[in-house]
């Protein structure tokens, strides 16, 4: 059975605002979903994707921030990811999102985080992340709580981006 590219939801969509459910049973269907999400993410191209972005309200994210040519790919699949500690030190990064195409804005987050998750084999993992990995994993975990990077921005900026996305969706619907 091959992998399949999934359609990425575009903001605004009520499914992007929901709190996703914990995964307590690692089924083949869920592993296949994770593979599909990786393919969808690489194809976009992007460095992270959360299950709600493909319309599945479960706590699953995928990421690979080794995007330089000289780094080998490092696809990570995280079920029920949780930030267990975060640095006081922060980092500002110009974030984007596959559900908010071509819009970017500075977001401040802890510069280092320790994350605990269950991998695709059902094993518990814990690892510290810094730099782009730290930004990305926090952005993706936010998706599981119905939070988008534009929720960190001021009201005016957020409304401006949302208006642009509504226009884009109307255009896409027209085909
Ligand atoms: Ni995103």
17 CA to centre of ligand 1 in angstroms? 12
Q: What is the pLDDT of residue 68?
A: 74
Q: How many domains does the chain have?
A: 1
Q: Tens digit of pLDDT for each residue in 72-91?
A: 999 999 999 999 999 999 99
Q: Tens digit of pLDDT for each residue in 131-145?
A: 999 999 999 999 999
pTM recorded for the entire structure: 0.96
| Domain containing residue 104 | 14-174
16 CA to centre of ligand 1 in angstroms? 10
Residue 116 lies in a domain: yes
107 CA to centre of ligand 1 in angstroms? 12
46 CA to centre of ligand 1 in angstroms? 9
* Active-site hit among 39, 58, 140, 171: 140
Q: Tens digit of pLDDT for each residue in 60-73?
A: 999 999 977 788 99
Nearest to 34 by CA among 107, 122, 135, 130: 122
* CATH code of the domain covering residue 37: 3.90.45.10
Kindly state the average pLDDT of the residues 29-48: 97
Examine the residue annotation and report whether 140 is marked as an active-site residue of this protein: yes
Indicate the average pLDDT of the chain.
Answer: 96
Residue 122 lies in a domain: yes
Is 125's pLDDT higher than 70? yes
Q: Is 30 helix (H, G, I), strand (E, B) or coil?
A: helix
Instruction: Provide the 10 A C-beta neighbour count for residue 140.
Output: 24
Q: Which residues surround ligand 1, an ion (CB under 5 A)?
A: 97
Per the DSSP assignment, residues forming a β-bridge with 48 are 63
Residue 3 lies in a domain: no
Q: Pairing mode, if any, of strands 124-130 and 112-118?
A: antiparallel
Cα gap 74→137, rounded to integer Å: 13
135 CA to centre of ligand 1 in angstroms? 11
Kindly state the average pLDDT of the residues 156-161: 97
């Amino acid at each position: 059975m091959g992998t399949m590219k999934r359609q990425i939801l575009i903001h605004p969509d009520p499914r992007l605002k929901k709190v996703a459910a914990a995964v307590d049973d690692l089924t083949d269907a869920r592993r296949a979903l994770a593979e599909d999400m990786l393919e969808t993410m690489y194809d976009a191209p992007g460095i992270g994707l959360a299950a709600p972005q493909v319309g599945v309200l479960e706590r699953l994210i995928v990421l690979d921030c080794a995007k330089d040519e000289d780094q080998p790919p490092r696809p990570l699949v995280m079920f029920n990811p949780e930030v267990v500690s975060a640095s006081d030190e922060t980092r500002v990064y110009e974030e984007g999102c596959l559900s908010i195409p071509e819009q970017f804005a500075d977001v401040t987050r802890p510069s280092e985080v320790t994350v605990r998750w269950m991998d695709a084999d059902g094993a518990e993992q814990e690892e510290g992340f810094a730099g782009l990995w730290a930004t990305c994993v926090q952005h993706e975990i936010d998706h599981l709580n119905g939070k988008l990077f534009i929720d960190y921005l001021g009201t005016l900026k957020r409304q401006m981006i949302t208006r642009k996305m509504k226009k884009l969706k109307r255009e896409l619907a027209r085909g």
